[in-house]
Structure 1
Amino acid sequence: MSRASAPATTPVATTHHRGDLDGLRGIAIALVVVFHIWFGRVSGGVDIFLALSGYFFTGSLLRRAESTGRVGLRETAGRTARRLLPALVVVLAAVVVATIALRPYTQWPDIATQTLASLLYIQNWQLALSWSDYLAADPSVSPLQHLWSMSVQGQFYLAALLVIAGITAGCRRLGIAPRPAAAFVIATMAVASFVHAAQGMAAHQGWNYYDSTARAWELLAGALLATLAPYLTPPRALRPILAAAGLAIVFACGWLLDGASQFPGPLAVVPVAAALALILAAHHLGPTEQPPLLSRLLTSAPAVRLGELAYALYLWHWPLLIFYLAERDTPTAGFADGAILIAAALVLAQLTVRFVETPLRRPKRAPATTRRLVATLGVTLAVATVGTQVVLHLNPPKAAAALDPIRYPGAEALARGARIPDVPMRPSLFDAPADIPPPTGDGCIADWDTREVITCDYGDTTAERTIAVVGSSHAEHWVPALEVLARQHHFRIAVYLKMGCPLTVAQEPSYKGEANPDCRDWSREVLDRLAVDRPDWVFTTATRPRDGVGDETPQDYLQVWSELSDRDLKVLAVRDTPWLRRDEVRYRAIDCLAQHGNRLSCGMTRTDALDPVNPAAAPAAAYPNVFPLDLSDAVCDEQVCAASAGNVLIYHDEHHLTASYSRSLAPELGRQLGPILGWW
């Protein structure tokens, strides 16, 4: 309905400009930058930024709906796109150019995929599917990873535009004001999103962090305040308290809370509430009222200027940091270099605002050259990234075919000194990611979001003798080696596998520092299933990398051995293979080799990777049912755990064996298993 026919008592939100909120936005993003570059933490600034975005965008939609009876779908979408896309396109183009110039070609397909996802505002889902770690920056992280928040924001803008348009149209037909209906819908959605985020934090925090549904409540909290804004006038005495508490939380949040492992769960209320408190602190001031002192500080020239640069600063700071870390091969920037990175990000942000953002917000006044350049960049990026996806789809990486053991001795070159002919390494660097064990390709390993126990059989599936391969992907990558032996000696391989979940009885297991209760429940069910299925042997990993250097057998592994012993099950406890890492930062061998490294320089020293003696050997002696296996000498020589051996690439990523190398381990594994099993 038109404004004239609205009830006379319907309040109308004020439209005066809030310079203090510009300052808050600038400080929030400045904290994001500082915490990323110097402290490797999540500051809560993005959560504040999301709440502000929900407040500003929803408020503008409702004011337009109340004044004109419509939200203007086309006009609002066009204005929002002009505000967001040009700077994003420029930064994406810069990242693509830098990737081609500086990074190995093995990373180009991933960057192309993430560039397209960022252009389509689905980067958060792309990252969720790979459960990328956002705890801190390091050289192995994508330079586009930070754009998850822009995708969440863009998805919210589209959803809010459609929802408010629908509410406005419906209320117009019913002859009622849209604001109360919008408040009810937004509040309901916010509660549902909050509950979803709380549940996700307990179950799948890696996914939860990027989940738009879990993140929605942060934006909806700001949106709800925007719908209620005309009805709210805080008492004068409360305003300084809101300002002081809000600003104190803004600065302290990054130190008090571990946002990467706790947001957007319930504790994200802290930064979101700080943003809402600061909005209310200077809200609906009377003609003679002054904002609280701290609110006036937010209107200072430096804070407001940061607010003007906030979007561009956020876009630029992360890729600068990641490319710096990758080029310097270091996990941290340090104070001096970090200051240079911040200065560079500020300069690039200033140039972007002046020559890209500001002119293109008024396209009719923008220089034709600027319009054509940004449009050309956008079209080129879209065409190039879509073309890359098409090419990869038509020519995907292929797993290496069965390799001739004479030309490709693999592990036998280390274990038995087999002759190494001069032939190309296999799998190739391009094909390596596809050279994976059968359970992954067959869907026979439970992923992060699958709680159910999945079992499949390999080897001689009709045989009566059975080895159960149990645990995480580090147990799985031995399946190709066991398959070779199973065909030779006629036994069945039954797999009970889950990603990121070595068999555990811990009450609070974790993965990448995040709670992983599914792993606990899955492990309990597997232990019970094994007691019923009664395999002849249980094959699982016995060690894992220690923080720092070397490897260890965690106490939890010993508890698992006890559980298996209680069920009268015999255990083949294999020492885990090295995880490629430098200064605690994992890296892919294929990336190193693509940058002209060699098999030795792209490996790691044996003393860094492994303890001198198998850590599982001593504790296993106390368990009559546990038989340790150690194939380290078939993966490493006396000095180096190399990237390849015997013309076969060892790793298909940072720490998983290629299926080809695993198969080459079969002879040595057979030599160690023979006396234990007594089957050959």
Structure 2
Amino acid sequence: MSLPSTDQPSPTAPDSDPKAAPVPSPGSGAAGRAPGAYRHDLDGLRGIAIALVVIFHVWFGRVSGGVDVFLVLSGFFFTGMLVRRSDGGPVGVAATIRRTLRRLLPAMVVVLAAVVIAAVVLLPHTRWSDIAAQTLASLFYYQNWYLALSWSDYLAADPSVSPLQHLWSMSVQGQCYLGLLMLIATTAWLYRRGRPMALRVAPVRRVLHSDSIRGVTHSPVTRRVLRAAGPQGGLRIALAVLFAVLAVVSFRYAAVGVSTQQGWNYYDTFARAWEPLTGALLAIVAPMLNLPKLIRTVFAWAGIAAIVACGWLVNGSAVFPGPAALIPVTATAALILAGAGLATAGQPSVNRLLAGAPMVGLGGFAYALYLWHWPMLIFYLGERHERAAGALGGLLIIVASFVLAYGTHRFVEEPLRLRATPALPARARMLTGVAVSTVGVLLLGSTLAWQWSNGAKAHAVGELDPAKYPGAAALTDRALVPRAPMRPTIEEAPADIAYPTRDSCIADFDTRSVVTCAYGDPNAHRTIAVVGNSHAEHWIPALQAVAEKYRFKVSVYLKMGCPLTVAEEPMYKGQNNPDCKDWSHDVIERLGAERPDFVFTTGTRPADNGGDETPQDYLDVWQALSDRGLQVLAIRDTPWLRRNGIRYRAIDCLASGGNRLECGMKRSDALSPVDPALAASDDFPNVHVLDLNNAVCEPDVCAVVEGNILVYHDEHHLTASYSRSLAPELARRLQPILGWW
């Protein structure tokens, strides 16, 4: 979802182009060509798009295509304004940025402030750091990159999702606005300076009127194009060519990204750029066309049908902004072309319906509605601890969002956007501006202060006194647990992570190459290779302690979100992860060549219906390693914190007042009665199964604190401190298999 731009000529908007053509009122009967006329139908299209976005988010958990509609419209309106302005002189970069921010920031600041206040009141303080980080990312328009780095799932509307996650599209649009502004301003400056000369319209006209192509230049189409292009025709033609080339490049980039790295691709500004560039191209080309009535009618009906159906036709989060996004983009283009150059009364019936008062009114505060609906949804789900709002809950969310959006539009946006009138005195505008500015300064200051103070508290925990902090020994050896404060603390926990992540020895989501490091005794002749994703990684602190004691080397071959696989289409968060396939192939080949004594990797994962399982893909990996004569240590995965299918962090629960048992989960929900890898390994004599969950869980519950040590630093990864406490038990389990001590 992106900002519903208001950059089209309007008799009431202060940002109107003074050179725009007079605007016929809706239904005035003026059906002739009006190239600069206000497009009431596109205001209505904004209303349809925002309605679809909200409905699909609240009730269906799908992407509706509304984001793509708004990106095209934004490119269309913004470019049209800049090109019209360039007809009379400089574009005015500084003035345009100032006016654009004046439209965007007030409502954004109000919503961000409300979210921060709600987070302080409703969320545990362990969530505040991420809210603060995303607040800053939203204010400075890099939220999409913030989310791209974590591959956040935009459709995961549950209490664990950020109430600011939807603002990624605002960042994309802000970046595209800046790019279009600089592109048009630079091209216009070059045109005025006469460099390159080919941009001047006179040479273009001389070529077009030469004898060699006189027949072409005398055609009605060419005359219409030249007439529509106006005195700045050379500039507009140059911009159209430039936009078309850049749009094709961006589209190809997005198409590749769908199949190689969709989690990143979805938020990538460069992958999204072709959509506003399409709108920008239409802003120049549409006035040059005079389509027959029948074609306009077909375009209008096909366009609105495709926009309404888009959310059902494709799973947008998995394929946008790749080729599938042509559905909402071309549909929007069709509706733009259907009404181009006509007053409202002369447009096709679909466009006239969109220009009706209800749709235009909804489109008027679409921006504010978009800002409010997602936080309302997330906070509602968080308070009710549910994954879906339901029919009645969804209706309440939508009504509340409408009320807040209307209030924001009426009392914040309009006073700062419209010029002073008797109904809107200058004093009211000034007070609104001062109030919003004050809120913005307080918001920025508080989030920066929180980020600084929280960053100072988060750090890895060093070696703990085993007498005061027995950790896993409290379960395996019935060690005495004295009264002592939990370590790592709630503030320390996020930084108490496994060593490879700390040492940059794990390939991240965007790294295709194999990254490897050595732990334990790097000069030892015996080696255990730890292979897979972060759930193999979090055993490194325990393996490090064992390896140092018994003199063997631990080599790591790790990649985030990628358990070792031989699958043709490995998935991560429901999306294709082809890098994982290629990375796994290279790792398996390297293991076959380097021949470590044992390969240590996970042997199970959580099952969707509770308990755990050993999927077929794991068996295929065992077979590939067996074919290379490699011995495998398959360790049972530790429990993932889930409640009613919703993931949660131990530190959030503890910060909310829960205790070690209340914040844990039933063992029967996390683990099957018998390790599923045992039966699966019967056909693989080279596979040795390890299960240390009796050192993590009690007989009936998997608590989040054992032996005064916090077990998890997030939803499902062991803290480095607890992993180290597992070393004695891990050594006992490894001894009969390895025979090295």
Instruction: Tell me, in whole angstroms, the C-alpha distance in 2 between the residues paired with 1:574 and 1:310.
Output: 51
- Is the Cα–Cα contact under 8 Å of residues 363 and 371 in structure 1 kept in the other structure? no
Q: Does 1:353 align with 2:409?
A: yes
The residue number in structure 2 matching 1:114 is 134
Instruction: Tell me, in whole angstroms, the C-alpha distance in 2 between the residues paired with 1:248 and 1:451.
Output: 41
How far 1:390 sits from its partner (Å)?
Answer: 3.4
Give the 3 Å change call, closer, same or farther, for CA 237–467 of structure 1 in structure 2: same
The residue number in structure 2 matching 1:391 is 453
Equivalent residue in structure 2 for 1:473, among 513, 518, 534? 534
| Residues 203-236 of structure 1: per-residue CA shift (max 9 Å, x gap) | 1111111111111111111111112122122211
Structure with greater Cα Rg: 2
Instruction: Tell me, in whole angstroms, the C-alpha distance in 2 between the residues paired with 1:371 and 1:447.
Output: 44
Equivalent residue in structure 1 for 2:645, among 584, 596, 614? 584
Q: Does 1:217 align with 2:217?
A: no
Q: Which amino acid aligns with 2:290?
A: T
Q: CA RMSD in A?
A: 1.5
Task: Write out aligned runs for 1:521-670 (5 A).
Answer: 521-670=582-731
How far 1:583 sits from its partner (Å)?
Answer: 2.4
- Is the Cα–Cα contact under 8 Å of residues 460 and 493 in structure 2 kept in the other structure? yes
How far 1:634 sits from its partner (Å)?
Answer: 0.9
Q: Which amino acid aligns with 2:113?
A: A
Q: Does 1:372 align with 2:434?
A: yes
Aligned residues: 668
Instruction: Tell me, in whole angstroms, the C-alpha distance in 2 between the residues paired with 1:84 and 1:233.
Output: 34
- Is the Cα–Cα contact under 8 Å of residues 56 and 311 in structure 2 kept in the other structure? yes
How far 1:75 sits from its partner (Å)?
Answer: 2.5
The residue number in structure 2 matching 1:9 is none
| Residues 230-269 of structure 1: per-residue CA shift (max 9 Å, x gap) | 2122211111111111111111110111111111111111
The residue number in structure 1 matching 2:399 is 343
The residue number in structure 2 matching 1:47 is 68
How far 1:363 sits from its partner (Å)?
Answer: 6.3
User: Structure 2: any 5+ residue segments left out of the alignment?
Assistant: 1-17, 20-32, 195-199, 202-231, 421-425
Q: Which amino acid aligns with 2:304?
A: L
User: Structure 1: any 5+ residue segments left out of the alignment?
Assistant: 5-11
The residue number in structure 2 matching 1:284 is 341
Instruction: Tell me, in whole angstroms, the C-alpha distance in 2 between the residues paired with 1:197 and 1:571.
Output: 39
How far 1:74 sits from its partner (Å)?
Answer: 2.6
The residue number in structure 1 matching 2:381 is 325
Q: Which amino acid aligns with 1:217?
A: W
- Is the Cα–Cα contact under 8 Å of residues 548 and 583 in structure 1 kept in the other structure? no
- Is the Cα–Cα contact under 8 Å of residues 410 and 661 in structure 1 kept in the other structure? yes
The residue number in structure 1 matching 2:179 is 159
The residue number in structure 1 matching 2:22 is none
How far 1:135 sits from its partner (Å)?
Answer: 2.3
How far 1:392 sits from its partner (Å)?
Answer: 4.2
How far 1:404 sits from its partner (Å)?
Answer: 1.3
The residue number in structure 2 matching 1:7 is none
Q: Which moved more, 1:379-388 or 1:543-552?
A: 379-388
Q: Which moved more, 1:78-87 or 1:338-347?
A: 78-87
Instruction: Tell me, in whole angstroms, the C-alpha distance in 1 between the residues paired with 2:576 and 2:373.
Output: 29
How far 1:69 sits from its partner (Å)?
Answer: 2.2
Q: Which moved more, 1:364-373 or 1:416-425?
A: 364-373
Instruction: Tell me, in whole angstroms, the C-alpha distance in 2 between the residues paired with 1:440 and 1:13.
Output: 61
Equivalent residue in structure 2 for 1:518, among 579, 585, 603? 579
Task: Write out aligned runs for 1:187-226 (5 A).
Answer: 187-226=244-283
How far 1:396 sits from its partner (Å)?
Answer: 4.7
Q: Which moved more, 1:396-405 or 1:333-342?
A: 396-405
Equivalent residue in structure 1 for 2:189, among 157, 161, 169? 169
- Is the Cα–Cα contact under 8 Å of residues 13 and 229 in structure 1 kept in the other structure? no
Q: Which amino acid aligns with 1:97?
A: I
| Residues 19-67 of structure 1: per-residue CA shift (max 9 Å, x gap) | 110011111011111111101111111111111111110111111112x
| Residues 421-449 of structure 1: per-residue CA shift (max 9 Å, x gap) | 11011100111011011110111000001
How far 1:537 sits from its partner (Å)?
Answer: 0.3
Instruction: Tell me, in whole angstroms, the C-alpha distance in 2 between the residues paired with 1:54 and 1:548.
Output: 45
Instruction: Tell me, in whole angstroms, the C-alpha distance in 2 between the residues paired with 1:642 and 1:273.
Output: 53
| Residues 325-347 of structure 1: per-residue CA shift (max 9 Å, x gap) | 11111111111010000000000
| Residues 294-325 of structure 1: per-residue CA shift (max 9 Å, x gap) | 21211222211110110000000001111111
Instruction: Tell me, in whole angstroms, the C-alpha distance in 2 between the residues paired with 1:26 and 1:282.
Output: 17
Instruction: Tell me, in whole angstroms, the C-alpha distance in 2 between the residues paired with 1:171 and 1:396.
Output: 55
Q: Which amino acid aligns with 1:274?
A: A
- Is the Cα–Cα contact under 8 Å of residues 13 and 63 in structure 1 kept in the other structure? no
Q: Does 1:444 align with 2:505?
A: yes
How far 1:15 sits from its partner (Å)?
Answer: 1.6
- Is the Cα–Cα contact under 8 Å of residues 34 and 343 in structure 2 kept in the other structure? no
How far 1:527 sits from its partner (Å)?
Answer: 0.5
Instruction: Tell me, in whole angstroms, the C-alpha distance in 1 between the residues paired with 2:473 and 2:453.
Output: 36
- Is the Cα–Cα contact under 8 Å of residues 34 and 342 in structure 2 kept in the other structure? no
Q: Which amino acid aligns with 2:71?
A: L
TM-score between both structures, scaled by the size of structure 1: 0.96
Instruction: Tell me, in whole angstroms, the C-alpha distance in 2 between the residues paired with 1:588 and 1:136.
Output: 16
- Is the Cα–Cα contact under 8 Å of residues 35 and 342 in structure 2 kept in the other structure? no
Equivalent residue in structure 2 for 1:184, among 232, 236, 241? 241
Q: Which amino acid aligns with 2:289?
A: L
- Is the Cα–Cα contact under 8 Å of residues 35 and 340 in structure 2 kept in the other structure? no
Give the 3 Å change call, closer, same or farther, for CA 236–13 of structure 1 in structure 2: closer
List 4+ stretches of structure 1 deviating above 4 A. none
Q: Among all aligned residue pairs of Structure 1 and Structure 2, give the percentage whose two residues are the same amino acid.
A: 62
How far 1:286 sits from its partner (Å)?
Answer: 7.4
